[in-house]
Structure 1
Amino acid sequence: MILVTSATGNVGGHLVRQLHESGFAVRAMTRDSSRASVPAGVEVVEGDLEAPASLGEVFDGISGFFVSGTTGDLPGLLGTASAAGVKRVVLVSSFLARTHPESAIGGGSLEAERLVRKSDLEETVLRPWEYASNVTAWAEGIRAEGAVRPPTAGLPSPVVHPADIASLAAHALTEEGHGGQTYPLTGPEELTPRDKVRALGEALGRELVCEERPDQRELERISEQAPDEATAGLMVPGVCSLRSPGVTDTVERVTGSPARSFGQWAAENAHLFR
């Protein structure tokens, strides 16, 4: 059985569904089981990642688990998992660990990676770039005015679909050969804020306005609201403020399927902007 922590999150939710659809037994852990929407047959348990000593029973019968590097007491979690006989862990880190190791996010991600590597678990590290789902920060403006006004600091960015992060995790948790690997993840193309707005408009079936603004205060304000742990503080939601690392082929190379496009994410999540 595989344990997915943060099972209602952007990546965790996809991972639960993908594992279940592939026939694997899944235990989905969340803080509030009443709010968890999972496929029938998936076991849901409550747990607090800040209190790993209380999770002994959660790890019973678990062969591998999925965790974000910015979530909870990671050293304690790894120790509890090891004591329960767990063999594998997949850690979601950040591409910033490679491109900006001096930053708060990059440095914190490197520390999380160090912790899993020194544990006695077989570890796989995923380093995603900006999440496609960060553009949900634009939803209010799109619903109210049909407009997005991003700061002009936005650079082209190969945003990654959270489902692709989940796909890498699923392979690493269920196959041999991924132990000790570090996988940098991006989407299949580099997109500017204007490109993303155009794709959202196509998904919604209406034209949206994109008015880029040279407003540093706005850039700093919106940066504080970044919803994804891999991008908080350095990648503004929907507006990457860092230079692109380039497009990687990791998703297709490891999973055998092409990386999902931002347009696909927009089509799947158009209801969030209506």
Structure 2
Amino acid sequence: MILVTGATGNVGRHVVEQLVEAGEQVRAMTRRPERAGLPDSVEVVRGDLAEPESLPAALRGTDRVFLFPMPGRLPGFLDAAKGFGLQRVVLLSASAVTYETPNPIGRMHEECEAAVTGSGLPWTILRPGAFMANDLHWAASIKATGVVHGLDDGAAGAPIDERDIAAVAVRALLDDGHAGEAYLLTGPEALTEPERVGIIGRVLGRDLRFQALSVEEARAGMLTRMPAEVVDSMLAMRAEAREMARVAPAARNLIGRAPYTYAEWATYHVNDFR
């Protein structure tokens, strides 16, 4: 039995679905089982990494786990997991831990990684860069005006489709040989924000427009979605655009096919932008 935490998130939902497709027994842990909407064969349990009393029901009878990062909560989970005989941990981390610029996102994930690597359990760490799914926050303005506002400073990234992160997680959960490995995961192409908006427009068959903002204007908009420390860190990290744009080979090598392109991701999510 494989436990998936964060089972209704952008990545966790796909991990669950792909494990089911592989014929595995899956238990999904979520705070709201009644809203999970997962395949019928999945055992859905109520649980929260922040609620230790909920963990035994989630862990009992499992031997592998896909672990959602939650700073400060993983040591307790991992201690409980060892008591139930857990044999493998696949942690969702982030590429921010590899950046030279110190940043709160990286520090948060470094804490989670340290908890896992120090647990004594066999582990694999996934370090995806930006999720393509992050661009879903453009959907409202695309629907309303056909205009996306953002920074046009030439910074590029190689965002990754959430389905590909899940595919790597499934490979690490099912196949031996990944213990002690940390994989940097990116999509197959480096793209700027205006380029990504153009791709969404072509998929929709609409002329979308990217309107450049000043750094101050962009920061104000980001503050409506994220804490100030995270916003300032993300803006500072844009200076590492060359590193952020580097296409890493791990996703292709691990899943045995080309990762999804941004156009394929936009097509998969076309109804979210309509």
Q: What's the TM-score, normalizing by structure 2?
A: 0.92
Name the CA distance, whole Å, in 1 between partners of 2:35 and 2:238: 31
Q: Which residue of structure 1 lines up, in the alignment, with residue 207 of structure 2?
A: 207
Instruction: State the Cα deviation string for residues 125-166 of structure 1 (Å, max 9, x = none).
Output: 001111101111111110110111212246111001111111
Q: Can you list the C-alpha shifts for 1:210-252, whole angstroms capped at 9, x where unaligned?
A: 1222x1222223333558xxx876447xx96741420011111
2:219 corresponds to: 220
Distance verdict in 2 for CA 1:63–1:154, change over 3 Å: farther
1:29-108 matches, cutoff 5 A: 29-70=29-70, 73-100=73-100, 102-108=102-108
Separation in 1 of the partners of 2:89 and 2:208? 42
SS at 1:127 equivalent: strand
Task: Report the number of matched residues.
Answer: 268
State the Cα deviation string for residues 91-141 of structure 1 (Å, max 9, x = none): 111111011462111122112111101102110000111110111111111
Residues 72, 224 of structure 1: alpha-carbon distance in 2 compared, 3 angstrom cutoff = farther
Counterpart CA distance in 2 for 1:166 and 1:241 is: 29
Higher mean C-alpha displacement, 149-158 vs 116-125: 149-158
What TM-score do you get using the length of structure 1 for normalisation?
0.92
**Matched residue type, 2:223:** E
Give the equivalent residue in structure 1 for 2:150. 150
**Change in CA separation of 1:25 and 1:120 when aligned onto 2, cut-off 3 Å:** same
Residue identity over aligned pairs, in percent, reads 37
Higher helix share: 2
- Alpha-carbon distance change, 51 to 154 in structure 1, aligned in 2, over 3 angstroms: farther
> Could you list the per-position Cα deviations for residues 233-272 of structure 1 after superposition, in whole angstroms to 9, with x for gaps in the alignment?
6447xx9674142001111111111111111110001111
Give the gaps of 5 or more residues in structure 2. Answer: none
Does structure 2 conserve the Cα–Cα contact (< 8 Å) formed by 1:226 and 1:235?
A: no
Tell me the distance in 1 between the aligned counterparts of 2:265 and 2:239: 21
Once residues 198 and 221 of structure 2 are traced to their aligned partners in structure 1, the CA distance between those partners, rounded to angstroms, is 21
Q: Is the contact between residue 67 and residue 92 of structure 1 (CA under 8 Å) also seen in structure 2?
A: yes
CA RMSD of aligned residues (A): 2.0
Whole-Å Cα distance in 1 between the matches of residues 71 and 249 of structure 2?
27
The code of the aligned residue for 1:132 comes to M
Residue 243 of structure 1: which of 238, 241, 244 is its match? 241
Q: 1:179 to 1:233 in 2, by over 3 A?
A: farther
Partner secondary structure for residue 58 of structure 1 = helix
Counterparts in 2 of 1:155-194, with a 5 A limit? 155-194=155-194
Residue identity matched to 1:57: A
Question: 2-side partners of 1:72 and 1:39: how far apart?
Answer: 31
- CA 1:71–1:41 in structure 2 vs 1: closer, same or farther (change >3 Å)? farther
